[in-house]
Structure formats: structure tokens, C-alpha cells
């Protein structure tokens, strides 16, 4: 599990305090996918709250595993900032580096800092605050019904593609002012899926270009005819964002909403379908969907690790010497299960002080977590209501997690049920 580095960087004797020098752990390999809780425990035991790690291509970084350390890093954006151009490793990063979509600088809210970030995030917050949660629940329910109707008659489904991924994408696109149905919306949804999560044979770059073009068109249409949607509220906001800024931030909103919400839905369904505490028993009593959603955020959070923050200047963290320009990966899943906050080894999901939505200036902007909760809750409840005898079509141990340390979700979630025809 913990490999010695043996990396070319180590051989070239980097300065003391550099993550590579400290003997980085390669973030890769099957064990990371299947039992992350054990992995984080052993990393913490061997390296403490801040572990030296090697990203793809043996690029050194720090993985912040402690609850208080993640809170500290995210709470001090003057020390640990978001603009990836600060990175002291760019000369080692090839253009086709697999993590480029997450670290490659874009002029969006994600990479802005200080006053400029407050301006951009403020517009997003106010635009999202305008979303009526009852309407969102109703729209999400309608999207859920339409997706369920497509497979309800067959008595079986693969819920990741047919439901969990499709639903939040459609809800987010609609929230931004695209019509609920139609080929145009379908094309955007398909292109977003390809650009965020390309399958073999897909062309993510071409899809991403089409997403940009369609969002540009949406912004143009809403400039001419504003409506009751996120895009129009961003356009009308007194901060006066340019159209280009709004296009960038809309893409960030949709992308930031889609993957984590989809995996939140899927991980919650998996929990409810595999854990008897959630099974409907003879007395009809079972733990609620809300409890399952919250437990997933503590124990199986979608955004396991988030890249990241970049040190503004030399500093110390968790006993480590951090150099200006070092990259820090936020170990959100590890922080949630930190024994420092759960000393008796029990992780009690009864409150919501987890770090799954991060913390500080760049946290998932209020009220996005509430909207995600509405979408995820509606998705799970509607499915269980429409298909009440839904069960897994495979043994629980046959479910496979995606090979990613960044996003925790299943490869597929096959289910069966009594066919329903209307």
C-alpha cells in the first residue's frame, strides 16, 4: 500500500521539506478504490495528518488528512490559495496530464482569489438563492418520473447511467434556464456527460467546445429575454459580470453540481439497498432517506479528495515544512473519519459537521448544498416510491467502485423490480 517513491524527482535530490524528498505515497492502485477508510487510517498512522503523496506521473503534493488541518487550510485562503498557476511543479506537467481538467487554470470562479472571488462567488450565491426549493423538488420529481418511465416496464435497470447521472445533470441544466426537454437540451446533457466523464470512443475536447458554444448561446438568449433562472439572475446582478465570466461560471456550476450529486444519489441507493438498517421491515420501520443521505456524506462522500490549494508562501502544516507553490490535496473523506474527532472509533452521522462540501472561502457555495440535497432526496425517494420492491440484481460484494481516488461512486448499480406499466 505504501510504496517507497523511487521517483526520478527523489533521485535528483530535491530540497529538504519537498514532498518528494519526504518519501511520497503513490495515489493509485486498486486498494484505494475498494477500502478507502482503511487506506486513510494507514496513511494517517504512517505519515500523520499531512502525508507526502505522488500524483499521476509521480508529481509530488501533500494530502491533508486531518479534520483540523483541512479546516485550517480551507479557512486560510491568504496562506493556501486557489490559483493553480502558483504551482511550483508546472515544468514537470505534460499538456495531456490526466489531472489537467482539475488543475489547469481557467478564468472561472474556481481559480479566482480574494476580492475577485468574493465578487464571482457572491453572484453565484445570490443566483442560486433565487431557486425555489419546492419548484426544484417538483422539477426533479418530474425528471425522475420521466427517467424511471424509460425502464420501469423492463423490470431491470442499470441505475448509474439510466438515473443517477442523468437526473442531476438535467436538474442543473434546467435550473440554469434550458428547456426541460428537446433535442437541444439533450445534446447539451450528452456533451456535458462526455466532457465530464468520457467513455471510450468519446471526444471530450470536442464535447467541451460544444458545451461552451451552447452556454454562450444561452447567455445571449437570456440577455435578450431574461427569465426566472440562474443565468438571468447572474446577468442582471449589479456586480456586472461580463458574458464570458458568466459562461465560465455557469459551466463551473453545472460541472460542480453534476458529478458529486450523481454519486451522492448512487452511494445513498447502494447503502439503502445493501444495509438492513434501511430495509423496509415487518413493522414498516426503517431509517429514513435523509439519514442515509447524511451517513453517505460522512462515510462515503462523493468528493473524497479535492485538488486543491497552493501554498502562497513557505509555512508549516501538521509538522510538515510546506514550500511556496506546493500543491495540497484536501482529503475530505479522511478528514470526516479522523479519529481525532471520533476518538472511540465510532463515526456518528447524526450531525452535519462533515467537510464534504469543504469549508472556508471556496467551499461549495451556500445554498448549493441545500439544492443538491433537494435533488438527491427527490431522486432517491421517487425511485423507492415508484419501484417499491427494488432490489440489487447482483450480490453487494460484486458492486465495483470506480477506479478514482477523487470521486467515490460505483461503476454500475444493476437493480431489478416488478415491471410497472402505465
Q: Which residues bind ligand HEM (CB under 6 A)?
A: 74, 109-110, 121, 124, 252-253, 256-257, 260-261, 264, 297, 301-303, 306, 332, 356-358, 362-365, 368, 371-372
The angle formed by the CA atoms of residues 256, 356 and 365, to the nearest 5 degrees, is 50
Q: List the beta strands (DSSP E) in 235-343.
A: 306-311, 315-317, 320-322, 327-330
Q: Burial, 311: exposed, middle or buried (Cβ in 10 Å; 0-12, 13-18, 19+)? A: buried
Q: Are 382 and 145 in contact (CB under 8 A)?
A: yes
Q: Are 35 and 1 in contact (CB under 8 A)?
A: no
Q: Are 266 and 160 in contact (CB under 8 A)?
A: yes
User: Whose Cβ is closer to ligand HEM: residue 129's or residue 221's?
Assistant: 129
Assigned C-alpha cell, 8: 526520478
Q: Are 59 and 91 in contact (CB under 8 A)?
A: no
Scored b (16 or more CB within 10 A) or e, 269-305 reads bbbbbeeeebeeeeeeebeebebbbbbbbbbbbbbbb
CA distance 15 to 129: 48
Task: Answer whether the bond into residue 7 is a cis peptide, omega within 30°.
Answer: no
CA distance 296 to 302: 8
State CA 2 to chain mean position distance: 26
For the CA atoms of 282, 419, 266, 205, what is the dihedral angle to 10 degrees? 180
Q: Are 243 and 216 in contact (CB under 8 A)?
A: yes
Amino acid at each position: 500500500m505504501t510504496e517507497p517513491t523511487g521517483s526520478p524527482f527523489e533521485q535528483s535530490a530535491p530540497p529538504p521539506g519537498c514532498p518528494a524528498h519526504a518519501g511520497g505515497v503513490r495515489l493509485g492502485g486498486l486498494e484505494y478504490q475498494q477500502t478507502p477508510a482503511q487506506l486513510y487510517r494507514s496513511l494517517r498512522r504512517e505519515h500523520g495528518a499531512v502525508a507526502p503523496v505522488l500524483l499521476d506521473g509521480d508529481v509530488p503534493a501533500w494530502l491533508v488528512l486531518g479534520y483540523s488541518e483541512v479546516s485550517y487550510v480551507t479557512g486560510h485562503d491568504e496562506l493556501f490559495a486557489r490559483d493553480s498557476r502558483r504551482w511550483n511543479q508546472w515544468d514537470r506537467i505534460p499538456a495531456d496530464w490526466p489531472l489537467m481538467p482539475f488543475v489547469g487554470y481557467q478564468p472561472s470562479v474556481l481559480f479566482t482569489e480574494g476580492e475577485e472571488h468574493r465578487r464571482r462567488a457572491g453572484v453565484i450565491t445570490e443566483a442560486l438563492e433565487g431557486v425555489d426549493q419546492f419548484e426544484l423538488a417538483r422539477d426533479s420529481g418530474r425528471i425522475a418520473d420521466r427517467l424511471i418511465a424509460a425502464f420501469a416496464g423492463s423490470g431491470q435497470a442499470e441505475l448509474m447511467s439510466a438515473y443517477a447521472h442523468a437526473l442531476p445533470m438535467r436538474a442543473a441544466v434546467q435550473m440554469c434556464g434550458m428547456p426541460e426537454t428537446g433535442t437541444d437540451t439533450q445534446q447539451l446533457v450528452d456533451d456535458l456527460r462526455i466532457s465530464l466523464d468520457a467513455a471510450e470512443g468519446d471526444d471530450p475536447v470536442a464535447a467541451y467546445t460544444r458545451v461552451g458554444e451552447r452556454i454562450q448561446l444561452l447567455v445571449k438568449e437570456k440577455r435578450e429575454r431574461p427569465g426566472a433562472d440562474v443565468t438571468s439572475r447572474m446577468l442582471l446582478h449589479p456586480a456586472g459580470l461580463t458574458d464570458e465570466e458568466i459562461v465560465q461560471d455557469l459551466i463551473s456550476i453545472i460541472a460542480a453540481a453534476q458529478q458529486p450529486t450523481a454519486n451522492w444519489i448512487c452511494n445513498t441507493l447502494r447503502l439503502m439497498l445493501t444495509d438492513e438498517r434501511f430495509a423496509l421491515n415487518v413493522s414498516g420501520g426503517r431509517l429514513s432517506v435523509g439519514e442515509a443521505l447524511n451517513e453517505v456524506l460522512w462515510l462515503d462522500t462523493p468528493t473524497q479528495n479535492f485538488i486543491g490549494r497552493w501554498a502562497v508562501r513557505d509555512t508549516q502544516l501538521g509538522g510538515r515544512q510546506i514550500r511556496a507553490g506546493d500543491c495540497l490535496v484536501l482529503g475530505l473523506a479522511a478528514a470526516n473519519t479522523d479519529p481525532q474527532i471520533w476518538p472511540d472509533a465510532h463515526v456518528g452521522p447524526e450531525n452535519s459537521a462533515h467537510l464534504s462540501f469543504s469549508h472556508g472561502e471556496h467551499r461549495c457555495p451556500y445554498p448549493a448544498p441545500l439544492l443538491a440535497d433537494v435533488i438527491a432526496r427527490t431522486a432517491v425517494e421517487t425511485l423507492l416510491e415508484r419501484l417499491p420492491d427494488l432490489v440489487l440484481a447482483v450480490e453487494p460484494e460484486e458492486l465495483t467502485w470506480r477506479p478514482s481516488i477523487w470521486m467515490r461512486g460505483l461503476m454500475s448499480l444493476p437493480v431489478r423490480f416488478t415491471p410497472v406499466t402505465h
